[in-house]
């Protein structure tokens, strides 16, 4: 029984030796593996005189064309441009916009109604307070700590309460400062 030989055929184009088809038959070397003979490279013919449309297409593909977009619309620019008028500029300057503070601590993600003041500590003239959330977790806060959903900031710590200052917008859009309190719970045994 003989081993089959691998036969490869090269597809010949009409421009290179029209009508002749080349056939590559693999040679077998001593190891038994089939190896194809090396392909000879030929210099490109002058294809501009040829009547073959494929050859003229390949010749034109090698030429580089530079695109100039004079007078054309930029596809990346917006179709509608908004220009601010003087009336729009004066309105935006009169009413300052409130910048929403991004919550950075767990206390800023909890509403003040869910917090209760459990202790006030006055040590070395620097008062601290302890607030507890409804789940039972406690936090120690100082003056200047941000607390609550509305971006409140602790402005004062007194012996029986803490005062929180919040800045919010009213119905007209003006900024309004509101002071809220968290009072220390009084036990009935006192």
Question: Would you state the pLDDT for residue 62?
Answer: 72
Question: Would you state the pLDDT for residue 156?
Answer: 93
SS3 assignment for the chain: CCCCCCEEEECCCCCCCCCCCEEEECEECCCCCEECCCCCCCCCCCHHHCCCHHHHHHHHHHCCCCCCCCCCCCCCCCCCCCCCCHHHHHHHHHCCCCCCCCCCCHHHHCCHHHEEEEEEEEECCEEEEEEEECCCCEEEECCCCEECCCCEEEEEECCCEEEEEEEEECCCCCEEEEEEEEEECCCCCC
* pLDDT beneath 50, residues of the chain: 15-34, 41-43, 47
Question: Would you state the pLDDT for residue 167?
Answer: 87
Domain range summary for the chain, segments of one domain joined by +: 106-183
Contact between 184 and 129 (Cβ < 8 Å): no
> Per residue in 41-73, pLDDT tens?
444 555 455 577 777 777 777 777 777 777 777
Question: Would you state the pLDDT for residue 85?
Answer: 65
Any idea which architecture 106-183 has in CATH?
Roll (2.30)
Question: Would you state the pLDDT for residue 18?
Answer: 43
Question: Would you state the pLDDT for residue 117?
Answer: 92
Question: Would you state the pLDDT for residue 4?
Answer: 76
Distance of alpha carbon 36 from alpha carbon 116, whole angstroms: 86
Question: Would you state the pLDDT for residue 105?
Answer: 87
């Amino acid at each position: 029984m003989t081993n089959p030989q691998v036969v490869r055929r090269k597809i010949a184009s009409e421009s290179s030796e029209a009508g002749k088809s080349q056939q590559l038959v693999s040679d077998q070397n001593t190891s038994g593996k089939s190896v194809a003979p090396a392909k000879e490279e030929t210099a490109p013919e002058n294809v501009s005189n040829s009547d073959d449309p494929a050859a003229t297409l390949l010749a034109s593909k090698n030429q580089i064309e530079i695109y100039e977009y004079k007078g054309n619309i930029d596809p990346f620019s917006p179709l509608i441009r908004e220009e601010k008028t003087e009336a729009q500029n004066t309105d935006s300057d009169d009413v300052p916009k409130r910048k929403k503070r991004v919550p950075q601590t767990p206390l800023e993600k909890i509403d003040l109604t869910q917090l209760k003041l459990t202790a006030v500590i006055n040590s070395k003239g620097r008062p601290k307070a302890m607030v507890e959330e409804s789940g039972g977790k406690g936090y120690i806060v100082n003056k200047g700590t941000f607390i609550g959903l509305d971006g409140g900031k602790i402005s004062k710590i007194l012996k029986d309460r803490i005062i929180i200052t919040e800045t919010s917008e009213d119905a007209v859009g003006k900024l309004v400062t509101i002071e809220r309190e968290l009072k220390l719970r009084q036990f009935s045994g006192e």
